[in-house]
Amino acid sequence: MSGRLNVVILAAGQGKRMHSRLPKVLHPLAGKPLLAHVIATARALRPHRVCVVYGHGGDQVPQALAAADLAMVRQEPQLGTGHAVQQALPHLDASARTLVLYGDVPLLSAQTLSGMLAAGGDTLVLLTAELDQPGGYGRIVREAGGAVTRIVEHRDASPAERGIREVNTGIMVIPTARLAGWLAALTNENAQREYYLTDLVRLALADRVAVMTVRARDTVEILGVNSKGELAQLERAHQRRCAERLLEHGVTLADPLRIDVRGSLACGADVRIDVNCVFEGEVSLDDGVEIGANCLLRDTRVGSATRIEPYSFIDGARVGARCRVGPYARIRPGTELGTDVHVGNFVEVKASRFGEGSKANHLSYVGDAAVGRNVNIGAGTITCNFDGANKHQTVIEDDVHIGSDVQLVAPVTVARGTTVGAGTTVWKDTRPGGLVLNTTAQEQRPGWKRPTKSGEPR
C-alpha cells in the first residue's frame, strides 16, 4: 500500500429496523460490536488517522469503543453520508488519502481495501459490486465507453437506471486535498433531502479527477446490517468462513455448520471438535486435543492430548496435557490444571491449581485452592473458602487422599500424605500422613417411627 491514509468510519445512523435501544453498530457479530470489526480492518491498513462519526444512541458508541488512536466525532443531526464525512474533516490529514468505511459493514477484508488503495493518488476510487437484486442501492451509471459518469440513488433513479446491477457499496477512497471543496459544494436537492457522498463522483469528474472502480471479490464483504435477520445472515457467513479456515488447517469438525468462534481459535495438529461448541476470546488447543459436544471455552489454553468431555464450560483457565475434564465440568478463571489431571462431572473449580496426576472426579467445589500432585478429592468434597466477607486459601499437599463429602474450612492446610475420612469437616491444619476424621459414634434407635404427614390417615 502506498502513501498515508485517513480512515473515516460512518456510524451515525439509527438502524430503525433493528428495533433496539442499542445503536446498530454496537450489536455484536462473532462476540464483538459490528463497529469493532470495522475498526480492526481499518487498523490492519496502518492508517495515519481514524475517525469514527457517531450520532444515534448518545455517547454509547464512544463509551464502548473509545481508544487513543481513534477520533470520535458526533454528527447531530444526521443529514446524509456527505454531511457525515464533513464532520470528520477537521481530523483528517490533508496530505493523506481518505478511505470511507461504514460501521455496519463488518466483513469487508483488508485485502479488498488494499486493492482499492493500490490505485494512484489523485483519483476517486469506488468499491462496487454486481448484485442480482440491486434494489435499494445506489447504481453505478457508466457511459457507452465504460467510464463512470455518476452514482444515482435508488430513490432518484429512472426505471432504466434501476435495471443496472452494478451497485455502489459506499466504500470509497478520496484525495483529501479535494475533499473540503467538494463537500462544501454538495446540495440536498434529491428525493431524501440529504447531502449525498455519492455526488462526489460528479464533482470529481467536473474537476477532471479520474474515477476508478474496484470490484469486491465476495459480495458478503460489502453487505451491511440493517435488521436482526441480516445480522444473523452475516454471523452465519462469518462462522462458515471460520470453520472453513479450521478445516483447511486440518482440524476435524464434526459439523462445520455447528461451531461458533467468537474471537480467535488456534489449533495444533489432529484437533477434533464435536458439534455445538462455542469458543470465545482467545482459545488455543494443542496437538491432539478433543472437545466433546456442547462445550464453551473462553480465554483458555488446552494442552496436548487432553479431552474435554461434553457440556463443559471452561473460562480463563490453563489446562495441561493429557487431562480429562468433564462431562459437565465448570472451570472458572484463574485455574491451572497440570498434566494428567482429571476433573469430572459436576465439579466446579475456581482460581485453583492442580498438580500433576490429581483428581476430583465427582460433585465437588474447589475454590482458591493449591492442590499438589497425586491428590484424590472424593465425591462431594467442598472447600469452604468464603467466610461471608473474605476468601481464604486451602492448601492440599502432595499425595493427600480425601474421602467423600468432606468440608475443608479455609484457611487450612492438609499436609502431605494425609488421608481424610468421609464426612469430615477439616478446620485445623493436619500433620503429614495418618488419618484425619471427626469421631461421632454412629447410633441406632430400634423401634423408631418415621414421622407421618399431618392429616394423613394412620
- Our finding on whether 134 is near ligand UD1 (CB under 6 A) is no
The answer to whether the CB of 291 falls within 8 A of the CB of 300 is no
- Which region, judged by CB under 6 A, interacts with ligand UD1, from 5-13, 174-182, 236-244, 364-372? 5-13
The answer to whether the CB of 124 falls within 8 A of the CB of 168 is no
- Our finding on whether 79 is near ligand UD1 (CB under 6 A) is yes
Residue tagged active-site, from 154, 362, 392, 401: 362
The answer to whether the CB of 134 falls within 8 A of the CB of 167 is yes
- Our finding on whether 197 is near ligand UD1 (CB under 6 A) is yes
Of 41, 98, 128, 198, which lies in the binding site for ligand UD1, with binding defined by CB under 6 A? 198
Q: What part of residues 93-122 is at the interface with ligand UD1 (CB under 6 A)? A: 102-104
Q: Which is nearest to 219 in space by CA: 261, 172, 173, 169?
A: 169
Of 5, 27, 73, 81, which lies in the binding site for ligand UD1, with binding defined by CB under 6 A? 81
Which residues have CB under 8 Å from 118's CB, separation 6+?
1, 2
Report the distance separating Cα 383 and Cα 317, nearest Å.
Answer: 19
Annotation marks residue 362 as catalytic: yes
Report the distance separating Cα 137 and Cα 124, nearest Å.
Answer: 19
Q: What part of residues 207-236 is at the interface with ligand UD1 (CB under 6 A)? A: 224
Of 33, 47, 57, 138, which lies in the binding site for ligand UD1, with binding defined by CB under 6 A? 138
- Our finding on whether 137 is near ligand UD1 (CB under 6 A) is yes
Omega within 30 of 0 (cis) for the link into 327: yes
3-state secondary structure at position 176 = helix
Cell numbers found for residue 156: 432518484
- Our finding on whether 151 is near ligand UD1 (CB under 6 A) is yes
Q: Which is nearest to 420 in space by CA: 430, 412, 392?
A: 430
Task: Name the minimum Å distance from CB 136 to ligand UD1.
Answer: 7
Task: Name the minimum Å distance from CB 162 to ligand UD1.
Answer: 13
Of 97, 127, 129, 153, which lies in the binding site for ligand UD1, with binding defined by CB under 6 A? 153
Task: Name the minimum Å distance from CB 171 to ligand UD1.
Answer: 8
Task: Name the minimum Å distance from CB 270 to ligand UD1.
Answer: 43
- Which region, judged by CB under 6 A, interacts with ligand UD1, from 7-15, 28-36, 366-374, 383-391? 7-15
- Which region, judged by CB under 6 A, interacts with ligand UD1, from 110-118, 194-202, 301-309, 313-321? 194-202
Between 168 and 381, whose beta carbon lies closer to ligand UD1? 168
- Our finding on whether 80 is near ligand UD1 (CB under 6 A) is yes
Between 124 and 366, whose beta carbon lies closer to ligand UD1? 124
- Our finding on whether 358 is near ligand UD1 (CB under 6 A) is no
Between 137 and 313, whose beta carbon lies closer to ligand UD1? 137
**End-to-end alpha-carbon separation of the chain, Å?**
91
Scored b (16 or more CB within 10 A) or e, 40-60 reads ebbeebebebbbbbbbbbeee
Cell numbers found for residue 390: 473474605
Between 7 and 412, whose beta carbon lies closer to ligand UD1? 7
- Which region, judged by CB under 6 A, interacts with ligand UD1, from 8-16, 245-253, 282-290, 441-449? 8-16
3-state secondary structure at position 285 = strand
Task: Name the minimum Å distance from CB 80 to ligand UD1.
Answer: 5
- Our finding on whether 170 is near ligand UD1 (CB under 6 A) is yes
β-sheet bridge partners, residue 329:
347
Q: Which pairing describes strands 139-142 and 252-253: parallel, antiparallel, or unpaired?
A: unpaired
- Our finding on whether 33 is near ligand UD1 (CB under 6 A) is no
The answer to whether the CB of 356 falls within 8 A of the CB of 338 is yes
Task: Name the minimum Å distance from CB 382 to ligand UD1.
Answer: 52
DSSP-assigned letter for residue 221: G
Task: Name the minimum Å distance from CB 16 to ligand UD1.
Answer: 10
Which residues have CB under 8 Å from 42's CB, separation 6+?
7, 9, 50, 99, 101
Report the distance separating Cα 270 and Cα 162, nearest Å.
Answer: 52
Q: What part of residues 39-58 is at the interface with ligand UD1 (CB under 6 A)? A: 53
Between 85 and 302, whose beta carbon lies closer to ligand UD1? 85
Which residues have CB under 8 Å from 345's CB, separation 6+?
326, 327, 328, 329, 361, 362, 363
- Our finding on whether 167 is near ligand UD1 (CB under 6 A) is yes
Residues with a catalytic annotation lie at 362
Per CB under 6 A, residues contacting ligand UD1 are 10-13, 53, 75, 78-81, 83-84, 102-104, 137-138, 151, 153, 167-170, 196-198, 224
